[in-house]
Amino acid sequence: EIVMTQSPATLSVSPGERVTLSCRASQSVRIYLAWYQQKLGQAPRLLIYGASSRATGMPARFSGSGSGTEFTLTISSLQSEDFAVYYCQQYNTWPYTFGQGTKLEIK
Amino acid sequence: EVQLVESGGGLIQPGGSLRLSCAASGFTVSAHYMSWVRQAPGEGLEFLAVIYGDGRTYYTDSARGRFTISRDNSKNTVFLQMNSLRTEDTALYYCARGNDNGGSDYWGQGTRVTVSP
């Protein structure tokens, strides 16, 4: 099973800041990496697929990069609605696996 | 409009069985891979099972041998039969649609399963 490790676990940031979240895979997943946003009490929402492609309707302030084992999600200027938990997920190899999540908190 | 609506959760004793349903609308389930994902209280997301358009099914270690994913094309519904339930199966269970380009692009609201004596 491919283990996905996200860092940091929690990030305290202010609205308007630029933030970068990291995700590392225990072995190469090529570019088969997705990012999700989950707000409290809601289902996850797909943000990024293929490591860098924005899902339909996702704002341009969200961007993804990386390949192989190292990936990042960048939010260029945090909006109030972006405070949530973010998960990466590999779909290169079954079982598909999620990272443990990074929680963005308001500073 | 694409929608997924889960049902069938509830309170069940250890060792019991439940059958979860995921009714889809706005697309055909047999044209996508469909997954069941769960989230224990305060925890992260965990894949359980997937069924592909051609009918192939795959399970994680947590689900293999106890859970069965299936599909009824006539009802456009995906199921998760869960047997021999344990207290650690307590979670919110989501079904999700596989995106053609990767990831899961539509999720239901989840159905809660509580396994308790």
**In chain B, pLDDT over 90 holds for what percent of residues?**
97
What local confidence, expressed as pLDDT, does residue B100 receive? 85
Residues of chain B whose C-beta is under 8 A from some C-beta in A? 35, 44-47, 50, 58-61, 94, 96, 99, 101-105, 107-110
Provide the pairing of β-strand A97-98 with B10-12. Answer: unpaired
Query: Could you tell me which chain B residue has the CA closest to the CA of A9?
Result: B44
**Contact residues, chain B, for A91 at CB < 8 Å:** 102-103
Distances (CA, A) of B16 to A61, B22, B55, B64: 47, 20, 27, 16
Match 């990767």 to its residue by tokens.
B102
Alpha carbon distance A69, A47 (integer Å) = 19
Residue in chain A nearest B94 by alpha carbon: A43
The pLDDT averaged over each successive group of 10 residues in chain A (107 residues) is 97 95 98 98 97 96 98 96 97 97 94
CA distance A22 to A24: 7
Q: Residues B18-65: pLDDT tens digits?
A: 999 999 999 999 999 999 999 999 999 999 999 999 999 999 999 999
What's chain B's average pLDDT? 97
* Confidence category of residue B16, pLDDT binned at 50, 70, 90: very high
The residue of chain A nearest to residue B42, with distances taken between CA atoms, is A40
What is the predicted pLDDT for the residue at A55? 95
> CB-based burial of residue A48 (10 Å sphere; 0-12 exposed, 13-18 middle, 19+ buried)?
buried
Encoded tokens for A87:
């998960």
B85 half-sphere exposure, CB direction, 13 A CA radius: 23
Determine the pLDDT at residue A104: 96
Read off the pLDDT of each residue in B73-86 and give the average, rounded to a whole number. 98
